[in-house]
Structure formats: structure tokens, C-alpha cells
Structure 1
């Protein structure tokens, strides 16, 4: 999942981001409501996790704004407010779920997965296949011709990104944005080095190469061979 996390509490935000990254998600953590609103306009997120009491623009105001713009991305509200009326207000404004602080991360993860399944039911499969490659999204496993391939978290995310856009040329900037996320302290060279490592594992032992460089443009996943263009 690609998650926008809007949380101004440094400790909670850092911990939540860390835990979500460990689960192979891509996370953009923002600390201001107006910054979150601007990021939401990109349309690239699978779910929004919003703290109620954000500076600049509250989480509740963000919910209302999102729904007024007919953005149907699932929303999970985080708040210390535990009154029934507060929960009702948040849900009626357009939030899909609600968690009261403090919360167990395992429950947050389960709720996010449920929201994602609900949103993508019938559209986004749990398994991606392209040629001889198969990626099991829930288990974070990849096989080629039935043989397991051990990948790091970033390599897995990069491969899934390429599989979801199979045949399409993705620039290094696009890959950096979609795999590492906003504000990531990495360079375009990191994209290239990660692609090289991924190629060694996915293509190295096989005569047919899947990950293709397109000179001056980026990378794409193909079944047509291994030469660069």
C-alpha cells in the first residue's frame, strides 16, 4: 500500500512510519494539514491516515474537503477523542474508520488492510503475474518459473511497481516517487543501483531478461528480451 500519514506528533509519527515501512508499505509522513491536502491532490495514495488535531487544517476538515472533491480514497482517523459524538462526527464527515490513541500497531495494520481490501475488491488482486514472474503481495514473496527469489523490501516494492506498469516505461523520477515516497533522502543513483541489484536476482540466472533499460527514459518490465534500447 502507498499510505499518506498526517500526524504532527513526532514520536507517534516516527514510530508509525517505521512500523508501516517494516511491513513493505510506502509511507509519506506529513505534519501539517495544508501540506497533507496538497499531497492528496496527486491521487497516488491507497489510504489516508489522518490525525484529528493537525496544524494548518484539522483532520476532520481534511475529511470533509476530500469528500467534497469526490476523492474516494479510504480514510482512517486517529484521535484522542473518545466520545461517541466525536466518532459519529468523523464518520459522518466521510471517514471510513476511526482509531483512538493510544492504539496497538497490529490493530492499525489490520484496519488498514481491511480498508484496502474493501477499496480494491474485484480490482486489485493479492497476486500479480507477468510472464514467468509472480508476486504474492500479502506474503511479500516473488517467484520466477516457480522458483523463489529472495528480495529486500525496496527490491520487492520496485518489482511490484514495475509489474503494475508492465510494458510501460517508468522514469527514474517516477520510480523514486512511487517506491521511496515524498521526502526520501535518496538520489536517482539509488534507483539505478536498486534496479541493478534487482536484475541480478530476477534476471541474472535466466536467458530471457525482464527488466529493460530504455536509454534516456527509464526502465520497463518486458517479456521480449534483455537488450537496452
Structure 2
């Protein structure tokens, strides 16, 4: 699902973004309220995750603005504040859930899924579709034209990343960050090798080739003419 994540702490933001991406979410991480407001106006998200304190704003202010504008996207607030009155303020302002820092990433992921299930969002659970190519992250299943495609864990993560950004060119550096993570100790050659293996399985038996190399830029998963990706 698509998540807007507002957090100004660089180390926490980087870790949380990466871990959510590893769980097959598409995450837009912003560092301040101004960036968050721009993203909220520009795109549809399934869940907002806002830190309480931001350099130029607060999660409370972002929540209040969203609700005043009629935005019903589920909102989860993150904060070090644990007083009852703070939790009450967040919920009364329009937040749907509240987590105290430090938090477990598995619990954050579970709460995000719970909010998306009950919220008025655009969330489509557990299914990605680009043309005849389908992936189900929850079941770890891939099919193309109804034919099962067996992938390794890393190949699957790479495919999901490409499908989430179908039609967009992703650099090798972006793929390395999204799939392996910063500090993983692998090189860009590893990205190229994994793409090559993925191609053999996803494109090899089929006439239409979906995974394209864009010279000097990276890789792109092609969307068939006249069709839309459902991610």
C-alpha cells in the first residue's frame, strides 16, 4: 500500500522507510510539515503516519488540516508523549491510532494494515497487477498469464519494487536501496545480476518483454499499451 511518512529524525526515518519497503509498501518519507502538505495535496495515500513533532509543524496540525479538508485517509501518530491527555488530543483531532516511541516495526506494520482495512482509503489488499503479470505479496506468489513463476526472496522483492513503480525508471541505486537497503554490503553489480535472473523467469518464456533496461538510467517495468497498473 502507499504510505506518507512524516518524520524528521534521519536515523529513525531511514530505518522505518526501509523496513516498510521490505514489507512491500510504497513509502514517501518527508522530513517536515511543508513537504507533507505538498504530498497530501498531490497524491492519494492509503495511510498517513505522522510524527507528533516536526521542524515547522506537528502531526496534530497535519491531522487537523487533513480532516478540515475532508481527507478521510487513516492517520497514525508517532510520539514520545505518553500522557493520557496527549493521546486524547490526538484522537479528538482526528487521528485513528497512536504509537509511543520507541516502537516495534512489526507492530507498526500490523497497525497500518489494520487502519487500511477499516479506513476509507484506496487500499487494495495483497494484490499487484501489471498487464498479465500478477504478484501477491502476502502469499509470495507470482503468475504471468496465469502461469506460476517461481522466484527467490530477493527476486520477488525486486519484482514487487518494479511493479509498485510500473512505468517509471528506477536507477540501480534506487533498487539497491529499496531491495537490499543502505549498508547491505552489496554492489550495483548485484542489482544487475538479480535483474538478469528475474528477467529469465518473468520474461524468458514470453514474447512480450516487460523488464526493460534504460541505458544510463536504470530499469523499468513496462505497462502494456492502454492498460493501467493496479498497485
TM-score by length of 2: 0.71
Q: Does 1:12 align with 2:16?
A: no
Write the mapping of 1:16-165 to structure 2, written as runs, cut at 5 A: 16-119=16-119, 124-128=124-128, 133-144=133-144, 145-150=147-152, 151-162=155-166
The 8 Å contact of residues 140 and 156 in structure 1, kept in 2 or not, is answered as no
TM-score by length of 1: 0.71
CA deviation vs aligned residue, 1:40-66 (integer Å, no higher than 9, x gap):
211232211101111111110000011
- Range with greater deviation from structure 2 (78-87 or 142-151): 142-151
> Which runs of 5 or more residues in structure 2 are unaligned?
179-191, 213-219, 227-231
> Which runs of 5 or more residues in structure 1 are unaligned?
163-169, 182-192, 225-229
Shift of 1:17: 1.9
In structure 2, relative to structure 1, the CA distance for the partners of 1:21 and 1:131 (3 Å cut) is: closer
CA deviation vs aligned residue, 1:79-116 (integer Å, no higher than 9, x gap):
11112221111112111111011211211111011112
In structure 2, relative to structure 1, the CA distance for the partners of 1:109 and 1:6 (3 Å cut) is: same
Shift of 1:7: 1.1
The 8 Å contact of residues 212 and 222 in structure 1, kept in 2 or not, is answered as no
The count of residues paired between Structure 1 and Structure 2 equals: 208
Q: With a CA cutoff of 8 Å and minimum separation of 6, indicate the structure with the bigger relative contact order.
A: 2
The 8 Å contact of residues 4 and 27 in structure 2, kept in 1 or not, is answered as yes
User: Hey, which bits of structure 1, 4+ residues long, moved more than 6 A?
Assistant: 120-123, 193-197
CA deviation vs aligned residue, 1:3-28 (integer Å, no higher than 9, x gap):
22111223322221232222222222
